[in-house]
Amino acid sequence: MTQRYADGKFGDYGGQYVPEVLMPAIEELTDAYERYVLGNEDGFMDEFRARLRDFGGRPTPTQYAERLSDRYDREVYLKREDLLHGGAHKLNNALGQVLLAKYMGKERIVAETGAGQHGTATAMAAAHLGMPCEIYMGERDINRQRPNVFRMRLNGSEITPVTTGRGTLKEAISETMRDWATNVEDTHYVIGSIVGPHPFPSMVRDFHSVISTETRRQLREQTGGLPDAVLACAGGGSNTMGMFTDFVDDEDVELYAVEAGGSTLDVDEEAGVAPNSASLSTGEEGVLHGARTKLLQDTDGQIMESHSISSGLDYAGVGPELAHLVDEERVNAVNVDDDSALEAFHRLSQLEGVIPALETAHAFGYLEEHHEELGETIVLNVSGRGDKDLQAAIEETEQRDIEAAPSMAEFSGGI
């Protein structure tokens, strides 16, 4: 378990910019994080790992991707986080935090969700551990991700639509913070990424770092060495930091955080819209949702509305640790646009029999465009499976001319 940046500051980034009413809860959480997560008090981490294994299905495999390796004439490996229970890496963090809430004696869970992956993971973890759970989700995301809404309800969670702003992840986080500020004494906020005030960025990273621990070990077993490049998509950055953490000290391993370039990197300052979610690539330093980090914002400091074809990447901020690693030039911040991600979605589905989440597809879009620069051995995090995105993928595909895409017209009437 890493103790890097234990004070919650990542260079200039991080910190605790939250209303005073939450500070005692943040102090309580910091204390619990240090004792249970870092110190394994009462065997917390042992129980966490056992539950990740028995309930979650860890370890997930690192798989050699034969046809992609042929296509790019180099060794391509897939870290199959899509095979974790729930179909995405999100369970690592959700299970860790709900378990921690139990150890802390909290009686209720709140969480926000964008794509619904964190929400479904939290709903599963809450059901598994017998905790009441309320999930805030932007109205627009509810419409984009109906199957995930049903899954959360099936697991017994309450869903509260958020109608402010554009009704996506940014607003859902703000609204969940308001709930937490109201019910702070008995409620724990299970934040869904490596964002927010300390200790969340460090704690969420620690829960997800098992991804890189396994990948590093599995690759060494299979190849006898380390990869030349590690790729992961990046929105808030939880799968990214989970995939990178144990490789950060391996100086010869290049790390690529692939952001959503959306429709364009250009920004419409007048309308307050950034038609992308590339805060690492194009954002400026600022303070949002409890942390100082890189943000999509206008020159006054108002937060921009972001955009991505994948709602899980659609966020105007990014984890402070990832922002710091980009400034330190340890992590390469790159991006691909909506079209490239959608093409990669089809390519991976057809070449490897793996239907990726649209978030995940961004990493494969970058592989297609830049494989020649990535060395001989490349590993990508398949952060989630694409079942939740079928509706969106079919609709978006219809609007484009994608060579590899099958026609769904004969089955029109929807899925």
Partner 1 sequence: MAGDRGGGSDLEAAFADGPAFVPYLAAGDPDYDSALAYVEALARGGADVIELGLPFSEPIAEGPTIQSAVVRALNAGMTPDRFFAFVEDLDVDVPLVCMTYYNLIYQYGSSEAPSASDSRATEPGGGQGPRPFVKRAAAAGLSGFVVPDLPAEEAEPLREACDEFGVDLVFIVAPTTEGDRLRRNMEHVSGYVYVQARTGVTGARDDVSDQTERSLQRLADYDVPKAVGFGIKTGEHAARIVAGGADGVIVGSALVDIVAEGVENDTPTEEVAARLEAMARELKTGAERGYEQRVPQAGGN
List the catalytic residues.
Answer: 90, 112, 383
Judge contact between 193 and 167, C-beta under 8 A.
Answer: no
Q: What burial letters (b/e) apply to 45-61, b meaning 16+ CB within 10 Å? A: beebbebbeeebebbbe
Judge contact between 235 and 312, C-beta under 8 A.
Answer: yes
Least gap, CB of 174 to partner 1 (angstroms): 5
Residue 17 or 72 with smaller CB distance to partner 1: 17
Pairwise CA distance, residues 149 & 135, whole Å? 10
Considering only 269, 327, 339, 368, the residue that binds partner 1 (CB under 8 A) is 327
Residue 303 or 361 with smaller CB distance to partner 1: 303
Query: Dihedral of CA 206/211/215/217: which sign?
Result: positive
Binding characters for partner 1, 249-278, by CB under 8 A (x = yes):
-----------------------x------
Binding span for partner 1 by CB under 8 A among 15-23, 80-88, 115-123, 341-349: 15-23
Pairwise CA distance, residues 154 & 160, whole Å? 15
Q: How many residues does the chain have?
A: 415
Least gap, CB of 284 to partner 1 (angstroms): 6
Residue 237 CB partners (closer than 8 Å, separation 6+):
193, 194, 195, 257, 318, 319, 321, 322
Q: Which of residues 50-109 bind partner 1 (CB under 8 A)?
A: none
Nearest CA to 187 out of 98, 90, 307 is that of 98
Asked if 182 interacts with partner 1 (CB under 8 A), we say yes
Q: Total residues at the site for partner 1 (CB under 8 A)?
A: 40
Residue 290 or 365 with smaller CB distance to partner 1: 290
CB atoms within 10 A of CB 321: 30
Binding characters for partner 1, 276-315, by CB under 8 A (x = yes):
--------xxxxxxx----x-x-xxxxx------------
Residue 9 or 67 with smaller CB distance to partner 1: 9
Q: What burial letters (b/e) apply to 203-221, b meaning 16+ CB within 10 Å? A: bbbbbbbbbbebbbebbee
Binding characters for partner 1, 23-52, by CB under 8 A (x = yes):
xxx-x-------------------------
Residue 273 or 402 with smaller CB distance to partner 1: 273
As given in the structure block, the two tokens for residue 80 are 């199959």
Binding characters for partner 1, 161-180, by CB under 8 A (x = yes):
---xx----x---x--xx--
Judge contact between 383 and 81, C-beta under 8 A.
Answer: yes
For partner 1, the binding residues (CB under 8 A) are 12, 15-25, 27, 164-165, 170, 174, 177-178, 181-185, 272, 284-290, 295, 297, 299-303, 327
